[in-house]
Structures are given as C-alpha cells and as structure tokens.
Structure 1
Amino acid sequence: MTDRSEDLYSKFLFIWVGQFISIIGTGLTIFSLGVYVYQQTNTASSYVFILICALLPPMLLKPYGGILADRHDRRLMMVFGDLGATLGLLFIFLMMLNGDIELWHIYLGIAISSIFSAFQEPAYKAMVTDLLPENLYAKASGLMQLASSAQYLISPFLAGILLSVIDIKFIFLIDITTLLISSSIVIWVRNILGSIATKHSGQNMMADLKEGIQEFSRNGGVVHLVITTMLVLFFVGLLQSLIIPMLLNLATVKIVGISQSICASGIILGSLFIGLFGSKHKHVIILSISLFMSGIFFVGIGSSTNIILITLAGFMFFATLPFINTSIEVLIRKNIENRKQGRVWSIISLVTYLGSIIAFAVAGFLADHIFNPLLQADGLLAGTVGSFIGVGDGRGIALIFIISGAMISLISLFIWQDKKIKGLEDVVT
C-alpha cells in the first residue's frame, strides 16, 4: 500500500472499531430484551415480534436511507443513524426506570432505534467507496462482515454473563454508550479528513429512487448476480429458520447452544482471513468455488445425526460465507457509480433479502406438513431416503437441508458459466 492508502485504511480501521463496538451493544439489547419478554409472557410470538420490530422498519426504509446517503456526507449520516438509535433505547430505559414498562413500549422503542439504522447502514457501506481505493475493498468487506457476526456470537455470550450480575436497565446504558463511542470516532475521522462533497441533481426522493433502480437494472451482470444472491439467501433462510428444531431432536438445549456458537465462529475465521490477507484472485472464481463448497457442507449438515459431524459441517459452511459475501460486494461495488451507491445498495439489500423473507414464510409449512411426515417411521420415504439419513422427528428438515445444499452447488455452476456475471470482473475503476 502507498502511504496515502495506509493512512486512509487506518482511518477506516478507527471507524470499523467503533462500529464493531456498537454492533456488540445492539446485540446485547436484542438478546436481553428477547429473554426479558419471553420470561414475562412465556410466548414465542412476543419474542418474534421483537425481531419483526428490529428488522422490518430498516428493510422498508433502506432505499430512502440510501438516497439520503447519496445526497449528504455519508459520515454525517452514520452519526445521525447512531445518535438517533439512542432515542429508542432511552425511551425503553426511562419506562423501565419508572416501573411503567409494557410490551408496546418495548416494541415502540426497538422500532424507533431500527428506523434510524436504515439511514446508518447504507451510509456505512457506501462510505467504504469514498474512503478506500479499490484494492482495499475486499479487506474492508471482510472486516465489516467480522463486525456483523459479533452480534450473533459475542453479544449473546456477554449478555448471558451481564444479566446474571446487573439489571437489564444497565444493558441499555451500555448500548447507548457504545453508540456514542461509535459516533465520536466517526466525527473525529471526519474532522481530520474533512467533509466529502456530494452531488445530486436536485430531484425529489422518488426521482432519486427511480434513478437508483435504473442504475441497478442497467447492468445485466449486476442484476444476474443480485437475483442469484436472492436465490441463495432463500436456501440459507431455510437453514436459519429450521436448524434449531432439527438439532433439538438430536441433543439437549445446552449442546445445541454450544454447537451454534462453534458454527458461527466459522464466519469469524473466514472474515479474519480476508481482513488480514485480502482477496487477490478473480472474484467470480472465488464466488463460484465458495458457493459450491458451501452447498456441499450444507448437504453435510443434513446427512448426519451425529452432533459433532453436524457442527463440523456447520462450521465449514459458515466459514465460506465471508468469501461469498466479499466477492459479491466487490463485484457490485466496482460496477456502480460512486455517487449512486447508497441508494443502489439499499435496493440490492431489499431485493436479495426477499429470498430470506420467503424462506421464513414457508419453512414451517414445508417442515411440518410435507418433509417431516415423509420421513416418519411410516412415511413414504422411510424405506428409501430414510435408510440413508434416518427417520423420525427432524429428519424431514434434514432432507430440506440436503436439497437446499445441492441447489446452492448447482447455482455456483450457473455463476461459473454466466458471461454477464463474469463481465463484472473486467471493469476498471
């Protein structure tokens, strides 16, 4: 790296550390509130509604958050998002402090915080293009994925310890503190490097949104890649929603928890590798190979009833995800005009995560009414498929995983042959 690149990368690392801390804080809040609400109501629906309040608002608002990220200084947008998120946390904290907390207070507070995340995340992702040269995109992407994984691996572990020694109200104060630290770092970096001028046509937001859709759709390779990603996320969504029910038929809750933590650590391993060494090879090739291998490991998750073998397959599956995500991000980033990246990334997120939403909607029906009955002792597939993967509760889910893994490997072969996706590699920025 040149001296200039090293200086910019060091500034990015400061911002990344702040975001890493704030993501852990957010994870502490979500986990702690989930435990609190479930203990108060003993209903899964109350817990699920927390996730809906946390995920739905930013998903719907991201396109508009992306437009604002293209109209304004992206680092200021990050500060706006982080500081705004503290409002919802303060609301819940004050309600608990007064002893008047009700479920709707919690849901409203989470929704308020998540609304502001819709403005922070697109700005954070687009800020990388502002700050770093192309040869550092892959490293930055790997580190950003590492930070994102902390919410699922580090936060639950820390929250479990903290809740045993402090009241849940103090969790909110910790989260608020992490957001303030993150915002302070971004402001400090902005003061050193100066603001970045933004250019836009003066159009209204709907016109900007239309322009973002046009920018996304004008490149056939990007469209192919995003649709392919949506299909992959559908199958990954089936894993996310059904892995716990399958494992609970094979092991105790404690063992299942340990297994999940080990599997999630695969993401950290892959992200650290990319963060330390970058990605110096053809991204389409890396994407195809990583997807193919992830499909094989996905099949492995469903093929065994041995929790150790399942955990090993899960670890390897999750270790491939950072390579997949980084390759996709770099290929798209190289092919989207910088001034439009905020809104385009938001549209891409909305499209790709439709796959996960559809998976969550159909997973329960597929498992309970189609696949699990087929692999009961008297099921239609008990004597055929069941002789290889076993019969009984949860083995229908295992068959879903095997089919899903095979489909992901097939998708990787499609990417390998797709000329439009391959063409994304040749763009020089």
Structure 2
Amino acid sequence: MEPNQPTSLRKFLILWSGQVASVLGTEMTNFAITLWAWELTGQATPLALIFFFTRTPKVIAASFAGVLVDRWNRKQLMMIGDGMAGISTVVLLSLLLTDQLAIWHLYVAGAVNGLFGYFQDLAYSTSMSQIVPKQHYARATAMDSYLTYSGSAILAPAIAGILYPLIKLPGILLIDLVTFLIAVGTVWFTTIPQPKVEAKPFSREQLWEEFTFGFRYIFRHPSLLAILLFLLNSNLLTNAAWAIQPVMILARSQDNATALASVQAAIGIGGVVGGVLLSVWGGPKRRIHGLLLGQTFGELSSVFLGLSNSLPLWMGTGFLAAIFSPFIGSSNQAIWLSKVDPAVQGKVFASRYLIAQLAAPLGLAIAGPLADKVFEPAMQPGGFLTPLFSGIFGTGNGAGMALQFTLFSILGVLVGVGGYAFRTLRDVETLVPDYDIKTSDPTRSLVGKER
C-alpha cells in the first residue's frame, strides 16, 4: 500500500453528510420551481431550458477547469462552488419577494450554479482517490452519487409537496439556504489532501500543453475514449427523454402535483435500493458490465414508463429504471479512478466530462421544442401520428411527450446492447492498466511529464 493512501472512509463520510443535506435542499427547490414554472407557462420548453442552461456551462467549463483544479486548492474550489450556489439562491429569493422573478432569471441562476457547481464537483471527484481507499471506490461513488441524490429524490418531493401550499417557493428557498450552510460547514472543518504537483509557470506553450493534456491522454487510450463515445450517445438520448419526464407526468395526471411527487419519490427509492445494493455488494468484478447492463436495463425500464398511463405503473417502472442508474455512474467512475493517476485526474476528468457530455445540451435543447411543436400536436385528436400510436398512448395532453419519451428510451436500449459489440469498450479493464501498476505503456511518460 502506498504511504499516503487513505485507510478509512471517515473524511469521506463527513463530506458526504454535508452533501446529503445540501442536495436535499436543492432538490426541494427544483421540485418547487417545477411546479411554479408549470403553473406560469404550462409548457415543456421552459423547464427543459432550465436544464439546458444549467448543463451547458458545465460542458464549456470542462475545456479549462481541469488545469485549474490540478493547480488550485481543491478544498477552496469546493467552498467557492458552495458559496456561489448560496448567493444565487439569495438573489432568486429577493426577486421572488419583490414580485420580479421571471423564467429567464431561472436560466441565469441555472447557468451560474452549473458553472461553479462543475468546479465544485470536479474538485470533489478528483479528491476521492485521496480520501477513499481504492477498494471502496465503487462503494463511495454509489453512496455519494446515488444514495445522496436518490435519497433526496424520495424525501424532497414529499417534503416540498407538503410545504409548498403552506410556504410557497420563498419558504422552500429559505430551507435550501440552511442546508447550504450545513454543506459549507462540513467542507470547512475537513482536511482534504492535495496531490503534489510541480507548479510550472503558465507560458504559452505550457498553457497549451496543460489544456490539451487530458484530451491527449484519453486519445492515447482508445478504450477510455470508447467509454466516452458510449456515454456521448447515451447522454444525448437520456436527456432528450428525461428532460420532459416531470411535465409528462403533470400533463398525463391533469396537473396533479401529488402524482408527480409520488413518481419522483418512487424513482428516488429505486436509486436508493440500487445504491445500497451496490454499496453492500461493491459491484461486479468487471466494472464494464455494470456500465453496459445498467444502461440496457435502465433504458428498458424507461420504455415501460413511457408506455404507462397510471400512477402505480409510473411509480413501478420509475423505480425499476432508477435501480440500474447507480451501476452506470459508479462503475464508470471506478474504472477512471483506478486507471488515471490522481495527480492528473483534474485535467483528464475535465476532458472526459467535456467529451461525454458534449451532446447532452443538444438533448436538452431539443427536448422541449420537440414536445411542444412536434409530438404533442401530432398526438392531439386528428394529429398525424394518432393513426399509428393512439392505440398505445391515447390522445390529448401528454400523449405526445409519452411517445417521445418512449422512442428515445428504445434508442437508449440499443446503445447499451450495442456496447458489447466493440472489444475496445468491452475489454477496457484489461486493455488499460491501473495507474499504480508499473507498465511499459509509452503513455506513462506523458503522465510523468505533467506531474
């Protein structure tokens, strides 16, 4: 075991507890904003655009954030990310209390939170190998990425659904601020090791080398690139479907907020069950199976969610879809944490995010207009798609979105199954050595040069 390798999960658990509180507050706010925006507009496009403006700055930031994360103090970056989230919440609350809040304000807030949140997430994820023992990578990822978010998806809609009629959006935003302070406190009082990196001056040549290092590293490892191309396609299809899922449920349930909260809670329970299973089990020995099979079965469950038109079926299929979600992210993260040297994970992980998420904003951008301009009109009585699909989805409000959701989910299933056809992707764990195993691989000199 290396001298500086962590031996316990203590620091991780402290940080994780703060993140649980923060994400709970954020998810309560997201649920309340969904209700507020749907009441205001009655369309899918504004809600999809909130996701778009939140996600796009992350993709842009990925082109340069890795260099900064590898050079700057990661704890301070996490604090800055939390701080900006708190400031944006205060601004939204002020606008709301003065009756000036508009939809476009949510786009701006989403962009700010997306940009600084990405720095926070990257600083946090690249610190994992410094605070989590190697054998617990998949377990810690499942806890952080899935138990946290899925647990919040259970509690947040239920709490926000009860409180929203009483305290409305201002009260929910105040709760979000309290949970933000808890998260900041856990980061403030936790020591986060910083990997030793030789600080070089930012000459023009050095700057270019730093910015392009992650891409050069990935392209020298075709199997790692194959994972990202797989995720590129997956993210496009998933975002084009799930961006309209909340409004699809609202439209199909006659604007029943309780129904939406119940479905979101069922999805959260599924994520928790999947996360607990993965945390206890540790995941498949070959992580690539968790990635490919998680994609396949998760999207297959989404197909049945789109085909459903009753609350029990929405809850059941949403639960099943969410069970498989932790297997995708945690298996993917475990592969990268074991293959990439911690000293360069910031640059590599940022480039990884940029490539994998490049198509996600496109999926989010097309989701709303496709629903409002194409699928919804086409599935109204007399619409041009009703002769083909009305027997399956019915007609009227929400039928077009259900068709759209189902079609993109079917394509997602094909992506998951198709991944097994490519050896470069299927055998990534044997084709790319772990970073702490000595090898004659010529790309190792690339890592050494940048340390």
Range class of TM-score, shorter chain: 0.7 to 0.9
1:198 paired residue number: 197
RMSD: 3.6
Matched with 2:68 is 68
TM-score of the two chains, using structure 2 as the length reference:
0.79
Corresponding position of 2:221: 219
Residue aligning to 1:181 = 182
The percent of aligned pairs where both chains have the same amino acid is 23
**217-226 vs 171-180, which deviates more?**
171-180
1:211 is aligned with what amino acid?
F
Query: 1:139-192 deviations in whole A, cap 9, x for unaligned?
Result: 1110112223355443343334444555755555543443333233223220xx
Residues 63 and 209, structure 1, Cα contact 8 Å, conserved in 2: yes
Match of 1:262 in 2: 266
CA contact (8 A) 2:55 2:361 kept: no
Secondary structure of the structure 2 residue equivalent to 1:189: coil
What is the CA distance between 1:345 and its match in structure 2?
2.2
Displacement, 1:337?
A: 2.7
Which structure 2 residue ranges, 5 or more long, are not aligned?
Answer: 436-451
| Counterpart code for 1:133 | P
Deviation at 1:313, TM superposition (A): 1.9
CA contact (8 A) 1:74 1:124 kept: yes
Distance 1:211 1:417, change over 3 A: same
Structure 2: distance between partners of 1:167 and 1:136: 41
TM value normalised by structure 1: 0.83
Partners in 1 of 2:19 and 2:239 — Cα distance?
25
* Cα distance in 2 between the residues matched to 1:352 and 1:10: 31
More helix by share: 1
Give the equivalent residue in structure 2 for 1:428.
434
Q: Which amino acid aligns with 1:159?
A: A
Q: Answer yes or no: is 1:392 the counterpart of 2:398.
A: no
Contact 2:284 2:290 in 1 (8 A): no
Match of 1:320 among 311, 314, 324: 324
User: Take 1:89 and 1:110, find their aligned partners in 2: how far apart are those partners?
Assistant: 10
| Distance in 2 (alpha carbons) for counterparts of 1:233 and 1:268 | 21
* Cα distance, 1:412–1:116 mapped onto 2, change above 3 Å: closer
Aligned residue in 1 for 2:312:
308
Q: Deviations over 1:335-363 (max 9, x none)?
A: 22322212322233233333332223333
User: 2: distance between equivalents of 1:166 and 1:259?
Assistant: 22
C-alpha distance in 1 between matches for 2:323 and 2:253:
23
Q: Given that residues 252 and 399 in structure 2 are in contact (C-alpha distance below 8 angstroms), is that contact kept between their aligned partners in structure 1?
A: no
Structure 1 residues 175 and 276, CA, compared in 2 at 3 Å: closer, same or farther? same
- What residue in structure 2 maps to residue 127 of structure 1? 127
Structure 1 window deviating more from structure 2 (108-117 vs 254-263): it is 108-117
Is the CA contact 1:83–1:180 (under 8 Å) kept in the aligned structure 2? no
Amino acid at match of 1:184: G
* 1:352 is the counterpart of 2:351: no
Correspondence for 2:26: 26
Aligned twin of 2:79? 79
Cα offsets for 1:302-357 (capped at 9, x unmatched): 34444433432221112111111111222222222322212322233233333332
Count, aligned residues: 423
Q: Which stretch of the first structure deviates more once superposed, 390-399 or 274-283?
A: 390-399
1:279-428 equivalence runs, <5 A = 279-364=283-368, 366-367=370-371, 387=391, 389-393=392-396, 394-426=398-430, 427-428=433-434
Q: Give 1:211 shift.
A: 1.2
Counterpart-to-counterpart distance in 2, 1:32 and 1:294? 27
